[in-house]
């Protein structure tokens, strides 16, 4: 066969046929491909449950997806309970414990997951009865065990602590608050205080109120026919009792007549996360939805060829990627454009995003560019049809949003018909740079002034992680940096008492992604350090510093420290670091007063003799240290100190959380022992 193909190619070249192809003119776009969307069938049970069936007999598998069609719930001072109600439905029923449910699902190799607006299950056809028995039990008889709630609350709190160090999470929280307002379900941001108010009664009430068949759809996809589906639906869900489900209307979203400029602080950031966003009146299946989607794809919808990507990355080299999103919603949609850029180009990058938004409104998209985007959308849509679940989702959307029966069958024709004039019209209709929220998260003191230029009134508002207004560092003149350090030393026991500390042994438990480790830290004055981390009785890592040399032992092997890593260990080996801050070689600079976790704190920049810089926050009221931000090879590390307690006349934090990038470590101090006579030999290992 290879020889035949080679001969044909040779003939083409020698006869000049290939040379006759004119490649200077791109071929005309082909007509929109005809697509054959699979059929679905539907029926309704007496209790109001609407059922859709999509047959797919390629594999002996069946999937069941139950979805609620209910309004979002405003959760108030217990925000977070709705998602917990969904997550914990499979954590125990009146007849089965969580372990029994997990074991049964694993035994048949199935999937069973729950969430706040539904349940999803999938298994081999021969295990349908077992899966549906479990699925119905989880749906109808959840108990929401207290111990499972407590575990989930702790995990959520850990997640919040991790997100506080993530600029994208901070930006998304603030954007939600500013788009919808804090009195709207979409504008609620879950806090630790909210989590403390959540009880099992919240979860049970939500489930009893909203999990009703007359507010639900059941989609069945796989190796099943209509007759079998009807039999299963009646058997497992027919006794599910219907009841009235509350409706909620929230329409009082903020309206901005001029750009709303907002910033948030992330200490030590060398980048800014920027976003331009606003609400749009775009519901699923809206007559303009397809044309608006094409417009967004041209602007920044995710490919290398979009205008934002080409401008901010390829042309300006401000970022690795810049993207936009146009999201429809049954209540209110939104538009956003975002990127992560160097701090020094924060304002320049925002300018370019606004420029590209305005250019969409004033310049027609070149035909080649538009055709490329439409071809990409056509390919993506066509590939999605390979999954039978896509057909089921189409059926569900048509029913939920009252779409035309041929909405998806004619989708590609509508995409192909979008013109450059349509794209410009959609940009004028749905891009509102003059009324947008313009947001930047980074080193607030460095970006505040440059962001001010985007507000006609010169107003910039600072927000915290939760979307609450906060003030920047307020200048203070009645205290010095040196006095703040003295106040801290006095608050934890006084300089004379601290100088009497010869050694400290701390035993702690650290939780990392659900795994628990035991940590023992031993320090001996002036600067000896030993840290052992254990899982069970096995030592998984050891750090030791004898005052001059440092070493780290881990599963990766043994490493003698040098350079910056050695210097950092040396600086971290001092029992009370602040006792050195007033010595020669250290500089401390008072930045002012900031609010940290609802507590006013003095903000100090500390520069060590090595040049390493950190930011520390000391309580105005009590002098104690509550946060420190320092640089590590893995990124900025944020350490929060909580729950101070007295130990032998000294004040120590009994709970610490540390975040480095996406990782968060929750540390509980179990015991602290002072002056037990640690020998030097411990630090020579």
pLDDT digits (tens, 9 = 90+) for 266-281: 877 889 999 999 999 9
Task: Specify the pTM.
Answer: 0.83
H helix runs in 539-636, sequence order: 563-572
Q: CA end-to-end span of the chain, whole Å?
A: 69
Worst-scoring range by mean pLDDT, 161-175, 365-379, 657-671? 657-671
SS3 202: helix
Neighbour count for residue 604 (Cβ, 10 Å): 23
CA atoms within 13 A on the CB side of 435: 15
> How would CATH label the architecture of 481-684?
Clam (2.50)
Region for residue 303 given its phi and psi (left: phi exceeds 0; alpha: psi -120 to 50; beta: otherwise): beta
Examine the pLDDT at 85 and tell me if it is beyond 90: yes
Structure tokens belonging to residue 312: 């901010």
State the fold for domain 260-385+399-470. Cytochrome Bc1 Complex; Chain A, domain 1 (3.30.830)
Q: Which CATH superfamily is domain 41-237 in?
A: Metalloenzyme, LuxS/M16 peptidase-like (3.30.830.10)
CATH topology identical between 41-237 and 260-385+399-470: yes
Examine the pLDDT at 371 and tell me if it is beyond 80: yes
DSSP state of 474: B
pLDDT digits (tens, 9 = 90+) for 307-358: 999 999 999 999 999 999 999 999 999 999 999 999 999 999 999 999 999 9
Q: Domain limits of the chain?
A: 41-237, 260-385+399-470, 481-684
Q: Do the Cβ atoms of 510 and 532 come closer than 8 Å?
A: no
Give backbone dihedrals phi and psi of 661, rounded to 5 degrees, phi first.
60, -135
DSSP structure string for 29-85: PPPPPP--PPP-EEEE-TTS-EEEEEE--SSSEEEEEEEE-------GGGTTHHHHH
pLDDT digits (tens, 9 = 90+) for 153-203: 988 988 888 888 889 999 999 999 999 999 999 999 999 999 999 999 999
């Amino acid at each position: 066969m290879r020889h035949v193909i080679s001969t044909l190619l040779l003939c083409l070249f020698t006869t000049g046929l290939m040379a006759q192809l004119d490649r200077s003119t791109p071929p005309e776009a082909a007509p929109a491909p005809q697509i054959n969307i699979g059929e679905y069938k539907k029926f309704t049970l007496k209790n109001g449950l609407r059922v859709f069936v999509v047959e797919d007999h390629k594999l002996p598998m069946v999937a069941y997806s139950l979805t609620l069609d209910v309004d979002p719930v405003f959760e108030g001072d217990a925000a977070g309970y709705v998602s917990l109600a969904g997550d914990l439905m499979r954590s125990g029923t009146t007849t089965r414990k969580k372990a029994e449910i997990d074991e049964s699902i694993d035994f048949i190799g199935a999937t069973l997951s729950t969430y706040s607006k539904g349940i999803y299950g999938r298994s081999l056809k021969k295990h349908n009865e077992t899966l549906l028995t479990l699925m119905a039990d989880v749906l109808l008889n959840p108990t929401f065990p207290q111990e499972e709630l407590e575990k989930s609350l702790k995990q959520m709190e850990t997640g919040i602590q991790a997100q506080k160090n993530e600029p994208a999470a901070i930006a998304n929280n603030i954007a939600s608050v500013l788009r919808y307002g804090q009195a709207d379900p979409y504008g609620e941001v879950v806090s630790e205080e909210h989590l403390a108010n959540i009880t099992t009664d919240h979860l049970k009430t939500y489930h009893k109120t909203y999990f009703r068949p007359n507010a639900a759809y059941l989609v069945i996809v796989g190796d099943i026919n209509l007759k079998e589906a009807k039999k299963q639906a009646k058997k497992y869900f027919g006794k599910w009792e219907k009841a009235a489900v509350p409706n909620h209307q929230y329409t009082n979203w903020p309206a901005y007549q001029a750009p709303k400029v907002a910033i948030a602080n992330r200490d030590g950031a060398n980048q800014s996360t920027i976003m331009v966003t606003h609400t749009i009146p775009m519901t699923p299946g809206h007559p303009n939805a397809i044309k608006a989607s094409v417009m967004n794809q041209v602007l920044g919808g995710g490919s290398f060829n979009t205008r934002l990507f080409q401008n901010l990355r390829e042309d300006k080299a401000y970022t690795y990627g810049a993207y936009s999103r146009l999201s429809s919603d049954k209540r209110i949609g939104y538009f956003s454009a975002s990127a992560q850029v160097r701090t020094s180009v924060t304002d320049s990058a925002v300018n370019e995003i606004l420029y590209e938004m305005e250019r969409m409104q004033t310049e027609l998209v070149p035909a080649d560019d538009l055709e490329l985007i439409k071809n990409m959308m056509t390919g993506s849509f066509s590939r999605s049809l390979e999954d039978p679940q896509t057909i089921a989702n189409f059926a569900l959307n048509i029913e939920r949003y009252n779409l035309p029966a041929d909405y998806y069958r004619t989708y590609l024709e509508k995409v192909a018909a979008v013109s450059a004039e349509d794209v410009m019209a959609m940009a004028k209709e749905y891009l509102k740079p003059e009324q947008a929220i313009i947001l930047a998260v980074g080193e607030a003191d460095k970006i505040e002034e440059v962001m001010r230029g985007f507000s006609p009134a010169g107003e910039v508002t600072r927000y915290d992680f939760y979307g609450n207004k906060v003030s920047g560092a307020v200048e203070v003149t009645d205290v010095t940096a040196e006095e703040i350090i003295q106040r801290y030393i006095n608050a934890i026991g006084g300089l004379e008492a601290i100088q009497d500390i010869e050694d400290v042994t701390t035993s702690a438990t650290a939780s990392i992604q659900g795994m628990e480790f035991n940590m023992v830290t031993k320090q001996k004055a002036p600067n000896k350090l030993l840290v052992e981390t254990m899982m069970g009785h096995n030592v998984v890592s050891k750090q030791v510093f004898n005052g001059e040399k440092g070493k780290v032992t881990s599963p990766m092997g043994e490493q003698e420290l040098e350079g910056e890593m050695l210097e950092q260990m040396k600086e971290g080996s001092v029992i009370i670091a602040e006792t050195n801050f007033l010595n020669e070689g250290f500089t401390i600079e008072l930045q002012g007063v900031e609010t940290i976790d609802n507590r006013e704190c003095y903000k100090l920049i500390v520069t060590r003799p090595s040049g390493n810089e950190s930011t520390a926050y000391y309580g105005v009221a009590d002098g104690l240290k509550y946060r420190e931000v320092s640089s590590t090879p893995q990124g900025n590390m944020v350490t929060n100190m909580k729950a101070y307690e007295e130990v032998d006349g000294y004040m120590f934090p009994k709970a610490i959380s540390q975040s480095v990038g996406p990782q968060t470590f929750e540390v509980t101090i179990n015991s602290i022992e002072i002056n037990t006579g640690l020998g030097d030999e411990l630090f020579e290992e």
